[in-house]
Amino acid sequence: MEATSFAQVWQDVFSTQTAPPQWLVIATGVVALVVVVARGPWRVARNVVTIAHEGGHALVALLSGRQLTGIRLHSDTSGVTVSRGRTSGIGMILTVAAGYVTPSLVGLVGILLLLQDRITALLWISILVLTAMLLLIRNVYGVVSVVGTGAVVFLISWFTPAEVQAVFAYLFTWFLLLAGVRPVFELQVQRSRQPSPHSDADQLDRLTGVPGTLWVVLFGVVNLATLGAGVWLLLF
Judge whether 155 lies within some domain: yes
Give the pLDDT confidence of 44-55 residue by residue, as tens digits: 999 999 999 999
Judge whether 6 lies within some domain: no
Domain count, the chain: 1
Please give the single-letter amino acid code of residue 144.
Answer: V
DSSP 85: S
90 with 64: CB under 8 angstroms?
A: yes
Give the pLDDT confidence of 202-223 residue by residue, as tens digits: 999 999 999 999 999 999 999 9
With a CB cutoff of 8 Å and minimum separation 6, the contacts of 139 are 72, 73, 74
Q: Measuring CA to CA, how many Å separate 56 from each of 1, 35, 49, 166, 220?
A: 30, 22, 11, 25, 16
Judge whether 220 lies within some domain: yes
Angle subtended at Cα 70 by Cα 220 and Cα 73, rounded to the nearest 5 degrees: 55
3-state helix/strand/coil string of 105-121: HHHHHHHHHHHCCCHHH
Give the pLDDT confidence of 160-202 residue by residue, as tens digits: 999 999 999 999 999 999 999 999 999 999 999 988 888 999 9
- The model's pTM: 0.94
3-state helix/strand/coil string of 16-38: CCCCCCHHHHHHHHHHHHHHHHC
Judge whether 197 lies within some domain: yes
Residue range(s) defining the domain that contains residue 107: 21-235
How much helix, strand and coil, in percent to the nearest 5, is found in the chain? 75, 5, 20
Judge whether 92 lies within some domain: yes
Judge whether 7 lies within some domain: no
Mean pLDDT of 91-101: 97
Judge whether 1 lies within some domain: no
**Coil vs helix vs strand at 88:** coil
- From the list 147, 39, 142, 60, the residue with the least C-alpha distance to 105 is 60
Judge whether 8 lies within some domain: no
